[in-house]
Amino acid sequence: MAQRPDDEQDPLLVQTGQYTRAPKVSHEVLTKQEREELLKERAVKQQAAQRLNQPCAGGPVGRWWRKLQSGPDKVTLAMSIVALGVVYGDIGTSPLYTMQTFLAGQGGVTHADETAVIGMLSLVFWTMTLITTIEYVVICMRVDNKGEGGIFALYTLLRRYGGWLIVPAMIGGAAFLADSVLTPAMSISSAVEGLQTLPALQGVFASNPNLMLIITLVIIVAVFAVQSRGTERIGKVFGTAVLIWFLFIAITGAMSMAHNLEVLRALNPVHGVQFLLSGDNHAGLALMGTVFLSITGAEALYSDMGHVGRGNIYATWPFINLALVLSYFGQGAWIIRTLEDPAYVQEGGSPNPFFAMLSPELRYVAVVLSVIAGVIASQALISGAFTIVSEATRLNWMPHLQVRYPARTRGQLYIPTVNVVVCVATVAVLLIFRNSEHIAAAYGLALTVTMVMTSILVTVYLWHKRMRAASVVFAVVFPTIMLLFFVASMAKFMHGGWFTALLTIAILTVMVTWNEGTKLERAQRRHMQLNDCLPVLQRLHEDATIPYYSDNIVYLTSDQDMKRMETDVFFSIFANHPKRARAWWVVSVETTDDPFTREYTVEDYGTDYLFRVRIRLGFKVSQSIPAYLHQIMHDLLRAGDLPQQTTRYPKVDADPKIGPIKYVLIHKALMPESKVSAKGAWALRIKYAIRHVAGSPVKWFGLAPYNPVTEVQPLFLSTVRPPRLKRMM
């Protein structure tokens, strides 16, 4: 039957086409917003190049500054403010409880003396200097993977040096994700509990014991609800508040320290070591667990590096470090002055030095700011969890979840599934432990594990970069210190640390089983040569006795091989009842590091019925695969590579030039008779259970829920041959 010309359409199709619309693809390569953004980026690069080519003003310092502003360590005021809101929330709330925990461990003000205070301050100062400043800011942040930081980015750079490196990487990543659940619960609950110190509200909370828990739950749910807007927008809102917070603790700390400059003796590390080993230390080794509270946000600096840029952290950390030191030293000066105060000595309690050193007027301001800072503190770990999960997905340690990029830079990402899971887990932590005092028993243990594993990987990195002497020194100093913190944190195991351990093991199980299951599946992936599959495909294509399953059958796959056919696709076409089509399409999608890439390559193998398509999309481009496939089909129609598929009857997409399209996704399943080890069988079963919960990648491909077909095929592992049956007469 002759085909209808393109300019003549069936009136019935035109009439019904007003009710349905085909997925349209613009003729423009970029949208208006994308063109404007690229023009801005191009203008910034041109300005940077012009500054570098200008005659040097300011001498060597001027040349260094212009080079810095044109490189990866670029510093901007806007992103520096974002860094304050995104990165430093966790470590910024540590002055609220570190020194109070120290007093409680010593048995209150009665059992503390000036030697103990100076020793504690010395341990805090040098821990922050060695771990946060030197290990993380100076060393770890120089080890990045295309601007991204964190333990998984570090592992990606090192995995070629040995398979055993996967062990510390997985353990550290699982522990970091566990801490991402505990940190929002700890920081927000401890901040909200500060409301009880306000005289005007003490009666309200006394008559409503559960009010504190309810307020904390509402705030936590609200924090997770705004994550979809992107951490850049959140950072702009939070950045100013955090700046005010650090200015406040720096000024109040300096004012308190001015009354007793003897605390400056804590700058000598000998005082810290002597106190730790002396009999005056009533907490013993557990004191190091208290000291660790002062650096709980150090890992967030590294993991959130991709969100705000390394240069902006370099620019803001000196101010943050100074503010923290002034606050700790100010609290120490107040404690020393209080040792002679009969009121505190007779009570024998453990007051919170942060609030107690302030005047009554400032105390109201401090409570309000601490509540705001506590809310912000959870942001660093939540955004870090998104980064960790995204990197774990690239390593095939977690299921392929939908990732959104709501902000202007790739580092700003949002994973809806992770946001929901972490939110539910955080709420569960609150319902189990109910207040910060009980959460504190589990808090910090997971992060010590992450820091130990990070220290191991950094040591390996330095060794393979031929910095042998530096790696030996690093291995002696930093992993040893972190192991000391870990042993001290284990003292809290029976009081809540068990929950952290269970959560870490659960996350580790997901990563290990997904990794092992993926290895088994890939080991069984098979390809067919074109000479073996094309003849039978051509026979099916021309066999008029079999009705069309669909005009176009599209197989979505992760396989990147363009020269051969995956056996899963071949068996899907011929399994049970053959799936005859006018054209079969095998499509894979690759996400590029460029934001606005829209490219595709197609291979037809010399046929007009089998097409292999690879679509390359930028990380900020919507993955509307149906719309792009319609464009590709029309391109092939115009080129004469695809026969006309004029449709005589209405269909949902109302595109009369393209026949109906059916999308097929193939999942694997383990058959009972498969020949596989018990370990492999368990890995596959758990992986498939996780996949069932996480869902199919329909949203990732931008498919409508009514169109795709999900098929389950056996995983072609070697099968066990049963004994032969005996025939009975």
Alpha-carbon span 707 to 664, nearest angstrom = 9
Structure-model confidence comparison of residues 470 and 330, the more confident one: 330
How confident is the model at residue 53, as a pLDDT?
Answer: 55
Considering the chain, what percentage of its residues have pLDDT values greater than 90?
A: 15
How confident is the model at residue 4, as a pLDDT?
Answer: 41
Using 50, 70 and 90 to split pLDDT, how confident is the model at 3? very low
Residues 6+ apart with CB under 8 A from 21: 653, 654
CATH 1.20.1740.10 domain position(s) in the chain = 73-518
How confident is the model at residue 375, as a pLDDT?
Answer: 79
CB 89 within 8 A of CB 187: yes
Residues 6+ apart with CB under 8 A from 594: 618, 619
- Which of 610, 605, 606 shows the shortest CA–CA distance to 583? 610
Using 50, 70 and 90 to split pLDDT, how confident is the model at 689? confident
Condensed to tens digits (0 to 9), the pLDDT of residues 251-285 reads 999 999 998 898 999 999 999 888 888 877 777 77
Task: Compute the average pLDDT of residues 434-451.
Answer: 77
| Architecture of the domain whose range is 73-518 | Up-down Bundle (1.20)
Condensed to tens digits (0 to 9), the pLDDT of residues 212-256 reads 889 889 988 988 888 777 655 555 677 888 899 999 999 999 999
Q: Which of 12-26, 331-345, 349-363, 422-436 has the highest mean pLDDT?
A: 422-436
How confident is the model at residue 255, as a pLDDT?
Answer: 93
How confident is the model at residue 128, as a pLDDT?
Answer: 93
How confident is the model at residue 7, as a pLDDT?
Answer: 41
How confident is the model at residue 251, as a pLDDT?
Answer: 95
Q: Which of 2-11, 217-226, 397-406, 673-682 has the highest mean pLDDT?
A: 217-226
State yes or no: pLDDT of 77 exceeds 80: no
How confident is the model at residue 13, as a pLDDT?
Answer: 47
State yes or no: pLDDT of 389 exceeds 60: yes
Condensed to tens digits (0 to 9), the pLDDT of residues 649-681 reads 666 666 777 888 889 988 888 777 777 778 888
Condensed to tens digits (0 to 9), the pLDDT of residues 142-198 reads 887 767 777 888 888 888 888 899 999 999 989 888 888 888 888 788 778 777 767
Averaged confidence pLDDT in the chain: 79
Alpha-carbon span 328 to 99, nearest angstrom = 8
CB 328 within 8 A of CB 78: no
3-state secondary structure of 115: helix
Condensed to tens digits (0 to 9), the pLDDT of residues 99-139 reads 888 887 776 667 778 888 999 999 999 999 999 999 888 88
pTM, full prediction: 0.78
Q: How would you list the strands of the sheet with 583-592, edge to edge?
A: 598-603, 610-618, 583-592, 552-556, 661-669, 709-714
Alpha-carbon span 295 to 289, nearest angstrom = 11
Task: Compute the average pLDDT of residues 451-462.
Answer: 88
What secondary structure letter does DSSP report for 107?
A: T
